[in-house]
């Protein structure tokens, strides 16, 4: 049984269709990537999954998560389903630059767990993500890679079943991005957390995703086992995306391998 199933999701902005009959699923503990260029509809898809209805309004289809079904055309949800956590693509959007990181962590913990007390399990979570004590640091005193991992840690405070990463490497240089993804993947595999990565980076999908959905013009045109899909895409857009010179996995693999060997 799927952890998350999206079936026939359609959404509009005014009269314009921005998502058209989108369907995909995620199994427990699985990593799925949604890839596509700018304007493909990836951000709109995420907003619908998170229960947001502006600027796009869902008009059809349903979402099933952890056995609970939400009809997109009749529901007026005010928030994301319980058990889903989201991490934005830019650490700058995740922190108040004038507040210490420890204060921001405790505020998040209070909202998620009901207590601001810093527990040994929370320090264990930070350790697993390669982070030490927060101390009295402000966001600018931490590297962007450390900030991104801390955002992931905050998202994991509620022990979600599904973690969504929105363009997790777009604001980071390749070496730092590889470090962040290595830490996150180790954690989700150990704790059996499903992962949805939304990205324009096919190399990222090739390294980490069990299955990949290719999205363009508000539609998922291919969805299947990642390496099979990348070896032999069936659609014209999939072939164009796979053959594009900038995605080449081998060109980026050296940086990732050197970080993994540290």
Query: DSSP of 162-189, one letter per residue?
Result: EEEEESTTTTS-HHHHHHHHHHHHHHHH
Judged against a pLDDT cut of 80, whether residue 151 lies above it is answered with yes
Q: Note whether residue 12 is domain-resident.
A: no
How many Cα atoms within 13 Å fall on the side-chain side of residue 215?
A: 31
CATH number of the structural domain spanning residue 118: 3.40.50.300
What's the mean pLDDT in 227-231? 91
Q: According to the model, what pLDDT value does residue 257 have?
A: 42
Q: Judge whether 251 lies within some domain.
A: yes
Task: Tell me how far apart the alpha carbons of residues 229 and 206 are, in angstroms, rounded to a whole number.
Answer: 10
pTM higher than 0.95: no
Say how many domains are in the chain.
1
pLDDT value at residue 37: 87
68 DSSP β-pair partners: 65
Structural domain span for residue 205: 28-51+78-260
Give the list of residues 6+ apart from residue 110 with CB closer than 8 angstroms, or none. 116
Check whether 255 has a pLDDT greater than 80: no
What average pLDDT is seen over the chain? 88
Share of the chain above pLDDT 90, in %: 65
pLDDT attached to residue 232: 92
Residue 73 in domain: no
Pairing relationship of beta strands 84-87 and 68-71 according to DSSP bridges = unpaired
CA 157 to chain CA centroid, Å, is: 16
Dig out the tokens for 173 from the structure.
Answer: 């240089």
- Position 12 pLDDT exceeds 80: yes
Specify the length of the chain in residues: 262
Q: In the structure encoding, which two tokens stand for residue 116, read together?
A: 């601001």
State phi, psi for 48 to the nearest 5 degrees.
-65, -40
- Phi, psi at residue 96, to the nearest 5°? -85, 115
Please check whether residue 167 lies inside any domain of the structure: yes
Domain membership of residue 90 (yes or no) is yes
d(C-alpha 242, C-alpha 237), whole Å: 9
Read off the DSSP letter of residue 81. Answer: P
């Amino acid at each position: 049984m799927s952890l998350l199933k999206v079936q026939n999701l359609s959404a509009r902005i005014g009269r314009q269709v921005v998502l058209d009959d989108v369907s995909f699923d995620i199994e427990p503990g699985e990593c799925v990537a949604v890839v596509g260029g700018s304007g493909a509809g990836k951000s709109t898809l995420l907003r619908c999954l998170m229960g947001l209805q502006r600027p796009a309004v869902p008009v059809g289809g349903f979402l099933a998560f952890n056995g609970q079904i939400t009809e997109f055309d009749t529901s007026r949800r005010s928030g994301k389903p319980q058990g889903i956590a989201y991490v934005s693509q830019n650490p700058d959007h995740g922190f108040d630059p004038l507040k210490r990181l420890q204060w921001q962590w405790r505020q998040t913990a209070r909202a998620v767990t009901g207590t601001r007390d810093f527990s040994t399990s929370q320090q264990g979570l930070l350790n697993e993500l390669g982070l030490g004590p927060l101390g009295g640091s402000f966001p600018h005193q931490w590297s962007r890679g450390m900030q991104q991992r801390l955002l992931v840690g905050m998202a994991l405070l509620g022990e979600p079943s599904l973690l969504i990463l929105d363009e997790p490497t777009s604001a980071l240089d390749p070496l730092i991005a590889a470090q962040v993804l290595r830490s996150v993947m180790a954690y989700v595999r150990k704790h059996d957390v499903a992962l949805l990565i939304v990205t324009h980076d096919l190399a990222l999908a090739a390294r980490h995703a069990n299955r990949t959905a290719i999205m363009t013009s508000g539609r998922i045109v291919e969805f299947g086992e990642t390496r099979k899909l990348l070896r032999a895409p069936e659609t014209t857009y999939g072939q164009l995306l796979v053959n594009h010179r900038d995605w080449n996995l081998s060109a980026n693999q050296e940086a990732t391998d050197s970080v993994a060997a540290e």
